[in-house]
Amino acid sequence: RAVQLYEKVQINTSCMLRPLEAPFRYLFGPGPSNVPPRVLAAGGRPIIGHMHSEMFGIMNDIKKGIQYAFQTSNNMTLAMSGSGHTAMECAVFNIVEPGESVLVAINGIWGERVAEIAERMGAKVHTLVKAPGGHFTNAEIEQALAKHKPVLFFLTHGESSSGLVHPVDGVGDICHKYNCLLLVDSVASLGAAPLLMDQQNIDILYTGSQKALNAPPGTAPISFSERACHKMFNRKTKPVSYLLDMTHLSNYWGNDGKPQRIYHHTGPVSGFFALRESLAILAETGLENSWKHHTEVAEYLWKGLEDLGLKLFIKDKDLRLPSVTTIAIPEGYNWKELLAYIMKHHQIEFTGGLGPSVGMVLRIGLMGYNCNKANAAMALAALEDALKQCRKSKA
C-alpha cells in the first residue's frame, strides 16, 4: 500500500480542464500589435537548445537584423530576453554606477519609468519635464547637461503615451560635448519613423518586439556604441542585476570575442525564432519603405479623424508619431465608454492615455502588419459608430 508522505494541497483545477480561450482581436492600440502568420509559424517551430550551434547561427542573424533596423555597425548588438523594460533596465544598470548623475527627459510615461529605474539603482536623477505632447529643444537639453553633468541622458524617440516623435538630430553631439552618453527609447517608433543610430550618434538604443516589428511580446533588441562599451566595461562596481549584466550577455551573444560561450540563462528560443522572422520581414520590406508606408497610412488616418470632427493631440504634423496616433478626448463623451463600445461591437482595441496622458487622449496604433489603409478605414468606421452611440446625455 502506497504511503501518503505529503499532505495534498486542494486546488480546484476545473478552469484548467477548459480549452485555452484567446479570441481574435484587432490590436489597434499602442501594442502589442497583431502578429502575421509567418512570424507566428516561426515561433511555433520545434524548440532547439539555447546553446546549440544552430541557435547561435539564428542569434547571429538576429544581430544582423537589429544592426540593419537600427542602422548601426555596433558589434555590441543583441536582443534581451524580456520585454522593453528589460532593455531599459539593462541600459541603465550597465551604464550607470550608484551615485552617478543621470538626466532624464520626461514628456510622458517613459521618462518617468527610466527616472524611477535609475533612482532605484542609486543614481542621482535629474529631470527635464514637459507636459505630455511637449518636446525639448537642443538648447534646453544643452543647458541641463551643462548644469547637471550627467553620465547618461535619456530621451524617448516615439513617446507612445502622448503620440509624439521627438527630434534626435544633434542631441548625440551635444551629449558627447559634455562627456555624456545618449540613451534613446525606440520601442514605439522603430520601423515607423526614421532613426539612424550611428549617424545620429546614439550610444544606446533599444526597442521592443511587439510594435512595428510584429513579433510576440517578450524580446527586446538593444545596441551599445564603442563609447558606451568603454564606460560599461570599465566600471568599478558590478551592475545590480546578474541577469542583465552585459559582461555575461555579451558572451551569450558571442560579442565579447571569447572562443567559448558559457551558460548564463536560457534564452526564449521561440521568441528568438519569431524575432528573427520579424526582422527578416523588415529587411525584405526595406526601412525606407517601412517609414514611408507608416507615414502614408498615418496621414490617411489623421485626415479621417479630422473629417469626423476630432482633434489630434499633437498639433504639429512633423512631431506626430506615425505608429501611434493620439486624439484629444472629444467633449461630451466618456473615453472609457467609447473604448468599451468599440471593443464590444467591433472587436477592436484602441486605448486611453497612459501615465500622465490618462484622461487626455485616445490612442490608435497601426504598426507594421496592421498598418494599411483598410485597417485605418475600419478603425475610423468603428470610431464613427461609437461617436454616434456613446454621446453622454445632457441630463
State the first-to-last Cα distance of the chain, in angstroms, to the nearest integer.
74
**Is-contact 108 30, C-beta < 8 A?**
no
CA–CA gap between residue 110 and residue 242 (Å, rounded): 24
User: 157: which strand partners?
Assistant: none
**Is residue 156 a contact residue for ligand PMP (CB under 6 A)?**
yes
Residue 227 assigned ligand-binding role: no
Q: Considering only 66-74, 126-134, 155-163, 312-320, which stretch makes contact with ligand PMP by CB under 6 A?
A: 155-163
Residues 168-207 that bind ligand PMP (CB under 6 A): 185, 187-188
Helix (H, G, I), strand (E, B) or coil at 220: strand
How many residues sit in the footprint of ligand PMP (CB under 6 A)?
14
Task: Output the smallest distance, CB 383 to ligand PMP, in A.
Answer: 21
Task: Output the smallest distance, CB 234 to ligand PMP, in A.
Answer: 28
The residue number whose beta carbon is nearest to ligand PMP equals: 84
Nearer to ligand PMP, 83 or 247 (CB): 83
Q: Considering only 82-90, 190-198, 284-292, 357-365, which stretch makes contact with ligand PMP by CB under 6 A?
A: 82-90
Number of H helices, E strands in the chain: 12, 14
Task: Output the smallest distance, CB 39 to ligand PMP, in A.
Answer: 16
CA–CA gap between residue 386 and residue 338 (Å, rounded): 6
**Is residue 31 a contact residue for ligand PMP (CB under 6 A)?**
yes
Residues 313-352 that bind ligand PMP (CB under 6 A): none
Nearer to ligand PMP, 84 or 239 (CB): 84
Would you give the binding string for ligand PMP spanning residues 217-256, x where CB under 6 A is met? x---------------------------------------
**Is-contact 222 94, C-beta < 8 A?**
no
Q: How many CA atoms lie within 13 A of 50 on its CB side?
A: 15
**Is residue 365 a contact residue for ligand PMP (CB under 6 A)?**
no
SS3 content of the chain, % helix, strand, coil (to 5): 40, 15, 45
44 CB contacts (<8 Å, ≥6 apart)? 270
Q: Considering only 48-56, 128-136, 154-162, 173-181, which stretch makes contact with ligand PMP by CB under 6 A?
A: 154-162
Phi, psi (degrees; rounded to nearest 5) at 171: -65, -40
**Is-contact 98 123, C-beta < 8 A?**
yes
Q: Output DSSP code: residue 143.
A: H
**Is residue 208 a contact residue for ligand PMP (CB under 6 A)?**
yes
| DSSP E strand stretches across 68-215 | 76-81, 101-106, 124-129, 152-156, 158-159, 164-165, 181-185, 204-206
- For residue 343, the surrounding DSSP H or E stretch is helix 335-346
Residues 83-142 that bind ligand PMP (CB under 6 A): 83-85, 110
**Is-contact 98 121, C-beta < 8 A?**
yes
Nearest alpha carbon to residue 339 among 301, 300, 298, 389: 389
Nearer to ligand PMP, 30 or 239 (CB): 30
Nearer to ligand PMP, 34 or 156 (CB): 156
Nearer to ligand PMP, 188 or 297 (CB): 188
Nearer to ligand PMP, 222 or 383 (CB): 222
Task: Output the smallest distance, CB 161 to ligand PMP, in A.
Answer: 7
CA–CA gap between residue 274 and residue 278 (Å, rounded): 6
**Is residue 160 a contact residue for ligand PMP (CB under 6 A)?**
yes
Nearer to ligand PMP, 219 or 251 (CB): 219
Q: Where does this chain bind ligand PMP (CB under 6 A)?
A: 30-31, 83-85, 110, 156, 158, 160, 185, 187-188, 208, 217
Known binding residues for substrate are 363
Known binding residues are 363
